[in-house]
C-alpha cells in the first residue's frame, strides 16, 4: 500500500541550501554591508538595554551566514535597530542577546543543528531572546539608507526595564554637547571597510554636530542619503575625530544616548560611519518617526487579539462544527491559558489554541455543537481589549471554497478520537492539513477534490486502534480509505 507518509506529503517543511557561516567566536573581519563597534571606547560594557542582534542571513551567493548588529530595548518585548540589519535575514533565525559574555553564553545556551539555531524557551534561564517577528519602517529606501530603522518583537520580556525614547528634536541647542554611544561592534578597523573585535559591548562619548550636509556625501564611500534633503534633515551627525569615540561596523542599530535631568534617553539609531570607522557617524533621528515607534510599542503586546469565525458546516456526527480563526495584531505571540482569559465552554476537547502567533490565521480549529446551542469564544489578554464572538447554526455557512478545509476538520476530529498515541495533536493536524491543501491548490490544483475526498473518508472512520494505522509522530491512516488514498496518489503522479 502506498501511504502519504512515505511520499512526504503529510508534513510541511523547507529544504535548506548548503551554507558557510562564521561562528560566534570568529575573528573574521566583518564588512560594512553586513554590520556596523565603538573605537576609542570610554569603557567596556554599557546599559543593559543596549543589546546585540544575532541573525542568520542569505548572502548574495546563496550561502547562509550570520550577522551581528546592535539595538535598544525601548518597550516591553520590543527592540529598536537599523533596517539594514534586518534585510535578507531568516524570519525564524533572529535573536537578541542581553548578557555580558557572548561566546560563553552562546556555547552554553544555543543549540545548533546544521544551520538552525534554538535558544531556551521563555521561562527558562537564558541570555537570549528569539524574535517572534520583526518589521522595517515601511518608508525605508535601501538605496538612500533612509529611514534606516526597524524593530524586533521578542518572545519574552527582558529582565530589566526599557530605556525611553527622547521625543523632541535634537536642535542647535545641542551643538557640541557630549552624548553617549553604545554598541556591540568592533574596536579596530583592519581595512577601511572591515572591523574586528565585535560581539563585545562598548561605550564611549562624542559630540553632537547637528544635521549633516551634502558635503557629508563622499564618493569613495557613497551614502546617497546625504544627497537627499529630507534624509539629511531627519538624520544627525556625531564627531568621530580623536579623542572622541566613534561607532564601527557592528554598531549599526545602536543608540545615541542623551541625559536629561538625570534620565537617560535613546535619541537616535546609528547606521553609517566614515571609512576605517573614523571622522564621523550618522544616526537616524527619532522624532520624525514617532508614529512608527509608538505603533511598535503597542504591538509589543497591547494590540488587539481578535477571535473570528470562518464558517459553520454540518459534520459526520449529525451536528454542526464551527471553524474558528484569529487575528493577532501584535508583533509578539500572546499566551492565554484556558479559563477566564480564553473561554469557550463547548470546546470540551480543548481544541482551541493557548498560544496565538502574530498575524491572521484561518481554520485554526473546530468545535462541534448541536443545532440549539450557541458558542461563545472570549479572549481577554492582560494588556489589550477583551474580545468575543457568538456562533449559532445560522452563522455564516461554509461554501464550496471551504469544503477542502472542512474535510481537514473532519479528518482531524476522527484522528484525534482514533486511540493512536504519539501522533500529531489536533492543532498540528489542522495546520498540517490546511497547509497541505494550500500546497495542492498551488501545485496540484487538479487533485484538490481527491485530497478532500480522502480526508472526508478519514472523518468517517470509527474510533479504536483496530480501525486505524497508527504512525508515530504523524497523522493516523486507515485501510478503510485505501481507495481514496490511492486515487489521490494516482492523481498526483498521473495515474
pLDDT digits (tens, 9 = 90+) for 115-149: 899 999 999 999 999 999 999 999 999 999 999 99
What integer pLDDT is reported at residue 495 of this predicted model?
56
For residue 33, the SS3 value is coil
User: Phi and psi at residue 5, in whole multiples of 5°?
Assistant: -55, -45
Asked if residues 271 and 32 have their Cβ atoms less than 8 Å apart, the reply is no
Residues of the chain with pLDDT under 50: 1-37
CA 260 – CA 374 distance, rounded (Å): 57
- pLDDT at residue 194, rounded to an integer: 84
C-alpha cell belonging to residue 49: 538595554
The predicted pLDDT at position 59 comes to 84
Q: Which element (helix H / strand E) includes 295?
A: helix 290-298
d(CA 474, CA 209): 62
Q: What share of the chain is helix, strand, coil (3-state, %, to 5)?
A: 25, 35, 45
Distances (CA, A) of 436 to 76, 246, 383, 401: 36, 52, 35, 15
Among candidate residues 333, 372, 352, 368, the one with its CA nearest the CA of residue 121: 333
**How high is the pLDDT of residue 14?**
25
| Cα 275–Cα 276–Cα 281 angle in degrees, nearest 5 | 60
Q: CA torsion 119→121→123→129, rounded to 10°?
A: 50
Q: What is the pLDDT of residue 21?
A: 34
CATH class of 30-298: mainly beta
Contact 284, 235 (CB under 8 A): yes
Q: Which of 386, 424, 431 lies closest to 405, judged by CA?
A: 431
The pLDDT of residue 233 = 98
Answer whether the bond into residue 202 is a cis peptide, omega within 30°: no
Q: How far apart are CA 51 and CA 99, in angstroms?
A: 8
The confidence score (pLDDT) of residue 473 equals 82
Ordered by start, the domain boundaries in the chain are 30-298, 303-492
Q: Would you state the pLDDT for residue 7?
A: 31
Report d(CA 55, CA 117) in Å as an integer: 9
**The pLDDT value given to residue 58:** 87
Question: Could you write out the DSSP letters of every residue in 307-323?
Answer: EEEEEEEE-TTSSEEEE
Is-contact 211 233, C-beta < 8 A?
yes
Amino acid at each position: 500500500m502506498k501511504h502519504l507518509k512515505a511520499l512526504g506529503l503529510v508534513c510541511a517543511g523547507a529544504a535548506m541550501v548548503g551554507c558557510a557561516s562564521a561562528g560566534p567566536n570568529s575573528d573574521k573581519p566583518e564588512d560594512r554591508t553586513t554590520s556596523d563597534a565603538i573605537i576609542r571606547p570610554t569603557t567596556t560594557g554599557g546599559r543593559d538595554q543596549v543589546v546585540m542582534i544575532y541573525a542568520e542571513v542569505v548572502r548574495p551567493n546563496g550561502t547562509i551566514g550570520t550577522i551581528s548588529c546592535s539595538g535598544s530595548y525601548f518597550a516591553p518585548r520590543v527592540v529598536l535597530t537599523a533596517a539594514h540589519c534586518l534585510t535578507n535575514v531568516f524570519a525564524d533565525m533572529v535573536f537578541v542577546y542581553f548578557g555580558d559574555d557572548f561566546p560563553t553564553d552562546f556555547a552554553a545556551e544555543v543549540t545548533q543543528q546544521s544551520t538552525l539555531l534554538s535558544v531556551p524557551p521563555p521561562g527558562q534561564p537564558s541570555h537570549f531572546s528569539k524574535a517572534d517577528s520583526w518589521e522595517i519602517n515601511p518608508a525605508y529606501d535601501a538605496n538612500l539608507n533612509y529611514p534606516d530603522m526597524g524593530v524586533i518583537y521578542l518572545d519574552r520580556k527582558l529582565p530589566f526595564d526599557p530605556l525611553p525614547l527622547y521625543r523632541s528634536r535634537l536642535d542647535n541647542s545641542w551643538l557640541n554637547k557630549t552624548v553617549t554611544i553604545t554598541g556591540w561592534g568592533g574596536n579596530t578597523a583592519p581595512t577601511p571597510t572591515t572591523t574586528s573585535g565585535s560581539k563585545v559591548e562598548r561605550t564611549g562619548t562624542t559630540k553632537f554636530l547637528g544635521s549633516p550636509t551634502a558635503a557629508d556625501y563622499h564618493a569613495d564611500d557613497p551614502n546617497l542619503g546625504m544627497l537627499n534633503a529630507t534624509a539629511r534633515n531627519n538624520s544627525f551627525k556625531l564627531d568621530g575625530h580623536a579623542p572622541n569615540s566613534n561607532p564601527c561596523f557592528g554598531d549599526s542599530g545602536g543608540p545615541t544616548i542623551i541625559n536629561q535631568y538625570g534620565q537617560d534617553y535613546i535619541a537616535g539609531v546609528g547606521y553609517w560611519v566614515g571609512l576605517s570607522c573614523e571622522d564621523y557617524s550618522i544616526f537616524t533621528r527619532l522624532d520624525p518617526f514617532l508614529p512608527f515607534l509608538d505603533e511598535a510599542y503597542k504591538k509589543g503586546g497591547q494590540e488587539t487579539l481578535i477571535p473570528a469565525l470562518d464558517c459553520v458546516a454540518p459534520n459526520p456526527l449529525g451536528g454542526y462544527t464551527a471553524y474558528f480563526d484569529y487575528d493577532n495584531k501584535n508583533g509578539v505571540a500572546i499566551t492565554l491559558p484556558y479559563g477566564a482569559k480564553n473561554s469557550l465552554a463547548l470546546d470540551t476537547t480543548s481544541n482551541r489554541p493557548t498560544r496565538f502567533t502574530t498575524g491572521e490565521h484561518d481554520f485554526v480549529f473546530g468545535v462541534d455543537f448541536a443545532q440549539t446551542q450557541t458558542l461563545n469564544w472570549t479572549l481577554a489578554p492582560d494588556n489589550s481589549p477583551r474580545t468575543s464572538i457568538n456562533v449559532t447554526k445560522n452563522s455564516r455557512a461554509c461554501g464550496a471554497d471551504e469544503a477542502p478545509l472542512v474535510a481537514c476538520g473532519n479528518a482531524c476530529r476522527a484522528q484525534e478520537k482514533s486511540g493512536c498515541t504519539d501522533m500529531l495533536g489536533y492543532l498540528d493536524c489542522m495546520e498540517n492539513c490546511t497547509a497541505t491543501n494550500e500546497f495542492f491548490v498551488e501545485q496540484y490544483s487538479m487533485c484538490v477534490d481527491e485530497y478532500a475526498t480522502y480526508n472526508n473518508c478519514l472523518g468517517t472512520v470509527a474510533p479504536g486502534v483496530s480501525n486505524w494505522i497508527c504512525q508515530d509522530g504523524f497523522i493516523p491512516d486507515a485501510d478503510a480509505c485505501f481507495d481514496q488514498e490511492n486515487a489521490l496518489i494516482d492523481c498526483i503522479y498521473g495515474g
